[in-house]
Amino acid sequence: MIEFDTLDPAALRRLNKNKNCPPRPTPDFTSSPIDSQYHPSASSSVCRRQKRTASHCLVGLEELKARGRLCRPVLCSLHAGQELGLFCQPCDLPVCVECAATLHRDHRCCPTRDVIDRHGDRIRELVSRDLRPRLESLEESLQMVENCQETVQARVEATANEIRAFACGYASAVEAHCVSLLRHLEELRIQRRNHLHLQRAQLQQALLDVRSAVEFSERLLGCGSDAEILSAKGVTLRRLSSLVEGFPVVGVINTKTVDVSSCTVEGTGLWQGREGEQGGFTLVCRDSAGEQMARGGEHVVVSIVHKERKGCSVEASVTDHKDGTYRVLFTPEQAGAYSVWVCVKAQHVKGSPFLLNVKRRFRQHSGTFHCCSFCSSGGAKEARCGCPGSMPGGFKGCGHGHKGHPGKPHWSCCGSTVEKSECLPQCVLDAVSPGGHLQTVEL
């Protein structure tokens, strides 16, 4: 083999000569070694009879295709018909023989088959080490994106179906509600029409009676004699008096409806009460504009239940004032916290349920409000007093200036010094010692 370090034109020409083979013809796309050796129409016997082709190796086209060796040569763009069979290492370019002899004269050029493995290995290394993992990663990412796209599309379709189903259901509900409202309106129309027909019949009858009475009276006064007028006076006056009283007029057209959320409750009896005493409050029904209803007839339910004692409830009475207000009265029998439910048309009004605090029963004083038991009893020794005061000499009550006297007027039953007050319970009275000291007890 000849080294290609420094090739001259003569050496390059000698590469094309061979003592066993004739000179190589100029390669082109129409006539090339591959075409002359492997053309499908060439017969193997014909090739062997030729001296120039007798030593050539014959290979089938299908086998070459399978091995990937069947390809056209790459020709130089500067020198027509010259194949790029050399590789210039300094320039890192494939060149032909003419290029190596002229443009790359002083460069190191080698046959492409000697360097293809080294450069091919670099390409294969980059492909296997860097590009193939990245290719797999990109394929996985692309697959994930496609899966996400399919998932998004499926969710969009599912959501669209839900929206359509909701819209259909909502439209059906609105249509059903519309039909119900129209049916209710028709029932109201028929009811009001019947009331108006009845009122019209009553008015027509009243008009007929009044007209006949007027005509009879005018004819009696204009054509009757004095005796006839006096004879019919009683009957005529009674008839005319009954007609003057008139007939009741019925029928009302209601343009307002009660709004439960706008109804209010007034009165302190809803928040606090006392055991055994009657309490109450007023319910005011209003429309959606907040104006008080001018009529009654609403279904009002009031429930009062003790919050701690099971089975303890208070019966409440509701009075309809026919002007949009309802008076609620009740009497709690036990003290404690109660829950008050106020409902109109089976719906809670604003603030319901309410909290009602019921205090224990008010204790009235059973004694007298005096300065001391000695003065109020006229000096009786047996007179007693609820204060811790005492007197010597066998007196059981209190006296001015003596030990334990409060120094001011007080009640004889409990010793309280406030005239308008509740009588102290017995536990407080029992805590007063004979020596006049009040013990601390839990009330």
Average pLDDT over residues 180-208: 91
* Residue, of 377 and 330, whose pLDDT is higher: 330
Which of 30-34, 77-81, 181-185, 206-210 shows the lowest mean pLDDT across its residues?
A: 30-34
As a whole number of angstroms, the distance between CA 90 and CA 139 comes to 38
Number of helical (H) and strand (E) elements in the chain, helices listed first: 10, 15
Average pLDDT over residues 198-202: 90
Predicted confidence (pLDDT) per residue in 241-283, tens digit: 877 765 555 555 566 788 999 999 998 888 888 888 899 999 9
Task: Report the percentage of the chain scoring pLDDT > 90.
Answer: 27
pLDDT for position 118: 84
Q: Any bridge partners for residue 110, and if so which?
A: 87
- Residue 57 predicted with pLDDT over 50: yes
Nearest of 33, 95, 44 to residue 69 by alpha carbon: 33
As a whole number of angstroms, the distance between CA 216 and CA 219 comes to 5
Nearest of 364, 365, 367 to residue 276 by alpha carbon: 364
Alpha-carbon distance values, 3 to 8, 19, 22, 133, 406 (Å): 12, 20, 23, 40, 142
pLDDT for position 442: 35
Which own/partner contact pairs does 409-412 have at CB distance under 8 Å and 24+ positions apart? 409/369, 409/370, 409/371, 410/369, 410/370, 410/385, 410/386, 411/365, 411/367, 411/368, 411/369, 411/386, 412/367, 412/368, 412/369, 412/370, 412/373, 412/376, 412/384, 412/385, 412/386
Which pLDDT band holds residue 435 (cuts at 50, 70, 90)? very low
As a whole number of angstroms, the distance between CA 169 and CA 147 comes to 33
pLDDT for position 44: 67
Which pLDDT band holds residue 289 (cuts at 50, 70, 90)? confident
pLDDT for position 30: 38
Average pLDDT over residues 92-115: 88
- Residue 67 predicted with pLDDT over 70: no
pLDDT for position 247: 52
pLDDT for position 418: 84
The answer to whether 9-116 and 260-359 have equal CATH topology is: no
3-state helix, strand, coil in the chain (%, to 5): 40, 15, 45
> Which sign does the torsion angle of CA 132, 133, 134, 137 carry?
positive
pLDDT for position 429: 57
Domain segments of the chain as ranges: 9-116, 134-253, 260-359, 366-443
pLDDT for position 150: 95
Query: How many CB atoms are closer than 10 A to CB 230?
Result: 10
- Residue 226 predicted with pLDDT over 70: yes
Which pLDDT band holds residue 48 (cuts at 50, 70, 90)? confident
As a whole number of angstroms, the distance between CA 373 and CA 406 comes to 12
Predicted confidence (pLDDT) per residue in 24-43, tens digit: 444 443 334 444 444 444 45
CATH number given to 9-116: 3.30.160.60
pLDDT for position 419: 80
pLDDT for position 252: 58
pLDDT for position 127: 86
Predicted confidence (pLDDT) per residue in 403-420, tens digit: 888 888 888 888 888 887
Assigned fold of 260-359: Immunoglobulin-like (2.60.40)
Does a cis peptide bond (omega within 30 degrees of 0) precede residue 353? yes
> H helices of 284-425, where?
373-376
As a whole number of angstroms, the distance between CA 46 and CA 39 comes to 12
Which pLDDT band holds residue 164 (cuts at 50, 70, 90)? very high
CA angle centred on 219, ends 218 and 224, rounded to 5° = 115
pLDDT for position 249: 53
Which residues neighbour 118 within 8 Å (Cβ) at sequence distance 6 or greater?
none
CA angle centred on 29, ends 27 and 33, rounded to 5° = 50
Which one-letter DSSP state was computed for residue 413?
T
Query: How many CB atoms are closer than 10 A to CB 279?
Result: 22
